[in-house]
Amino acid sequence: SPEQARDPRHADTRSDIYSLGCTLFFMLSGQPPFPDGTMLQKLLQHQSDSPPDIRRFRPDLPDELHQVLGKMMAKDPRRRYATPGELIADLLLMAERSGLRPINPASRIWLTPPPPPAAPFFRRHLPWMMPVASLLCVILLLDRFWSRRDGDPPPQPNQPPAAALAKAPSAEQKVPVPAASVENPADESFPDPFESDKFSFTTEDWQGYFPLPQSGGQTAAEVAAEPKEQSADVAPPAEKTGPSPPDIFEAIGSFWKNRSGTLHIPSPAVAPAAGPNAKQPTILIVSDALGEGNQFSSLAAACAAAKNGDIIELQYNGPREERPMMLSNMQLTIRPGKGFQPVVVFRPDEINPVRYPRSMITLSAGRLTLLDIAVELHVPRDLPADDWTLLETWGGQSLRLERCSLTVRNASDQLMTYHPEVAFIRARPAPDAGLPVEGGQAAAPLASIELLDSVARGEAIFLRVEDLHSVHLLWENGLLATTDALLSAGGGEVPPKPNESLRLELRRLTAVVHGGLCRLSSTPSNPYQLTVQFVCSDDIFITATGVPLIEQEGSDGVAPSRSRVVWNGDRNFYQDVDVFWMVRNSDPDVQPETMSFEAWKSYWGPSRENQPSREPVVWARYPNGNRPLHTHTPADYTLEYPPLNAETVPGCRCERLPPLASDAPLPRQPGIGEIDGIEWERWWRE
């Protein structure tokens, strides 16, 4: 079993059920799940690769048996049958539905139903908690009311009470109702389409989906939560008088009416705003000159010793190899020391690849910020394993990169890619996500990924999403050069919730995506897909010849597949893009449906695709095809244009990107998309 390959001490009855599933697979298909390769390769395949669909070998088998076999051979032990009794129960039900009868009719197995799960704590104690809570609220309201009444001035002797109240200090203050903020993303699935040539999707819209850091490292919600300075017309606390009881209940009712748009529950991954007396973050130093205190010889050691909110400074120059690390429930910032240019390098170990983690940096339920850092993954050619990842996120977390570069070296100088399914960033749900809970399936937390003035280059998928995990990606000014796709997402066994989706905002991105912009796939065993929304502005997309910009594969037809993609584009360039959209059926006998540029524009209309262009891009320097993509730099993709307003030119701003060293000279390639300056200026002015 997978857990037995990692550590035999973790094996239990569920490991035997996995082995029994492999035996059943062999009995049904006549071959083991992973028949090829050496013993080491088989161990790696059992550990990470999904077993083949049994219906490929036996299409006559019922779907119930396929589901039972899939549950027996699940990689996560928690998703398998917990006891043999549960397995026997499902097998008997499957046999009864399929009309199978035991060989000996006299033999019968009686199974008792499993005990009902214990009610959760909240439901067990709800009958007495609600009356107590109501009583406490009434007591507090009455106490507040009478204490305020005691502080009111008494009426004048010769005046009626109403006149006396009219002369009382009018310091009565309503209970403040929170101001309306960004709309709840559950209330609106997608932004309004573009109605003009102005890009309408703003930073404030994006803050409703995940917090964007403001000045001082605080999020917008944290800045709004800080106490405001007291104005001159507000009475000091000692002079204030409380509201009357009708005002209290009016304010409470108003609060509950507006609660959907005003409540902001901060994510546990984001630390609250620090006050003036709060403890300052500790700075941990990684350098060659070791000393006493917070100095470490490696980044992994510093991360192991770090606490929530700490800062790690890398005070060295050039590349340094590191070991994989995992950050859990922690807010951490990694930055270079002043005057240093560090490069963090990961190189998987070939000695024991079974026990070596597939992810170099794993973030679980936390927030990681990388500032001015270069991170590289070197995948050896002869390593008997795939699915390597530079950065991996589990569950709800936040990843932010500013002026960073990500490099994956997964190809030789002859441009041959070594390993498939390598990813820059891999987003997975938490290990317990999707497990059944009372009242239905638990909602998966959101993963937010933000890149600002950053570069990603190499032979890997940029973002690989597993198991219908909700991800929001924001990339502001950057360069992506990859042999694969920007986004790759598979299917799931259960339908996603209405508020679960993939959302990508790409602004001023030069994307060299030889494998296309987006690749979505589903299988008969995982038929469900997430809705993907793109918000793209002033981008340049470059694909390989014949590769579709968006590719979908499934068995539910063209119209349902296209309904799961929402596009908002403004002034984007499409170089070498011949096929804009392809929907491929899982049945090889069904021809795929393709969409050309003109059909693409007509499908979305000017409100969703504003001023797109397939005109040749004028490059001042463009890399030739004999260099691997992990050696490309922003200087390779410099545009040559007349002195126009810089805001009207598409693609990345190379001067704002981090400098990168190239392994080869950067020759100028004349004749690629050359048009004169007059034509260029005329096109942009139109």
Q: How far apart are the first and last CA of the chain?
A: 63
Return the closest-CA partner of residue 438 out of 131, 121, 126, 127: 121
pLDDT at 458 over 80: yes
Where is pLDDT greater, at 462 or 49? 462
Distance, CA of 567 to CA of 134 (rounded, Å): 49
Distance, CA of 359 to CA of 371 (rounded, Å): 20
**Residue 535 DSSP code:** E
Superfamily of domain 2-98: Transferase(Phosphotransferase) domain 1 (1.10.510.10)
Residue 435: what residue type? Answer: L
Say what the pLDDT of residue 103 is: 54
Q: What is the pTM of this model?
A: 0.62
Q: pLDDT, tens digit, for every residue of 98-133?
A: 666 655 544 455 454 555 555 566 666 777 788 888
Residue 91: what residue type? Answer: L
Domain residue spans of the chain: 2-98
**Residue 3 DSSP code:** H
What would the mean pLDDT of 345-357 be, rounded to a whole number?
78
pLDDT at 464 over 70: yes
Q: How many helices (H) and strands (E) does the chain have?
A: 15, 32
Say what the pLDDT of residue 95 is: 76
Distance, CA of 383 to CA of 404 (rounded, Å): 27
Q: pLDDT, tens digit, for every residue of 494-531?
A: 889 888 999 999 999 999 999 999 999 988 888 899 99
pLDDT at 423 over 80: yes
Cα angle 351, 353, 357 (rounded to 5 degrees) comes to 130
Q: pLDDT, tens digit, for every residue of 204-259?
A: 433 333 333 333 444 444 434 444 444 333 334 334 333 333 343 343 334 333 43
% residues pLDDT > 90 (the chain): 36
Distance, CA of 284 to CA of 302 (rounded, Å): 6
pLDDT at 653 over 70: yes
Q: pLDDT, tens digit, for every residue of 532-549?
A: 999 999 999 999 999 999
The stretches of 487-544 forming alpha helices (DSSP H) are none
Evaluate whether 353 touches 324 at the Cβ level (below 8 Å).
no
